[in-house]
Amino acid sequence: TVQAAGTAVDWAMKLFGETDFGRLAEAVGAVAPGSDGLIFLPYLEGERSPIFDAHARGVFFGIAPAHGRAHFLRATLEGVSFALRSVLEVFRETFPAGAVRLIGGGARLALWRQLLADVWNTEVQLLSAPPEDATSLGAALAAGVGVGLFPTLTEAVRSIQVTDRYQPVVANANRYQEIFPLYAALYPALQSAYAWCAKPSATS
């Protein structure tokens, strides 16, 4: 679990005065993958997987005069995507991860679906179930098996179909492959600073 995924995006939209996802996509789409060297760590509320550090906090790294509002918005989406990739990498240590199916509010934004495919370098799939209802629907299908409405979970999930697929854009995936090690190196470099900042301040 990533502690602040959608929360980080909501925070950035509010901070930079954006309320419409269509305009967000337009602004983000005008910036090249990698946000011209701007990297965001989305640890606004600490982080769970894979670093498990309640003291971690958000960081924009690499800020330069050329960076504007759209860069910060794109870097936020990319930072959350990198954080999710860091969880995916843990899975990949155990077994090959094939296509990833999206649920949740972020799945509604086509630009972000493609960005996720590029950052993760894997196929991303959209389902027929409404993204915001997928968790509840899964629980309902499991309950349906429990009360005998469906014989098995395999049968229960046949009602959910893959409706769209996003393949990584090779050039973008290669760019993110270069950036991800730097993203991953930032937390260890800042870990002691996070701990220092979390210490109670001295009182006079």
Distance CA 180, CA 60 (A): 15
Pinpoint the alpha helices (H) of 93-169: 110-120, 134-146, 153-156
Measuring CA to CA, which residue among 9, 14, 65, 58 is closest to residue 36? 65
Query: Between 163 and 74, where is the model more confident?
Result: 74
Mean local confidence (pLDDT), 167-180? 98
CB 31 within 8 A of CB 66: no
Residue 125's H or E segment, with its range, is: strand 124-127
In the chain, the percentage of residues whose pLDDT exceeds 70 is 98
The pLDDT assigned to 147 comes to: 95
The pLDDT assigned to 183 comes to: 98
CB 172 within 8 A of CB 33: yes
CB 55 within 8 A of CB 195: yes
Residue 180's H or E segment, with its range, is: helix 170-198
Which residue reads 């504007």 in tokens? 68
> Does residue 106 carry a pLDDT above 80?
no
SS3 150: coil
Mean local confidence (pLDDT), 16-39? 96
pLDDT digits (tens, 9 = 90+) for 41-90: 999 999 999 999 999 999 999 999 999 999 999 999 999 999 999 999 99
pLDDT digits (tens, 9 = 90+) for 108-158: 789 999 999 999 999 999 888 877 777 888 899 999 999 999 999 989 888
Distances (CA, A) of 134 to 21, 81, 131, 148, 162: 21, 20, 5, 21, 13
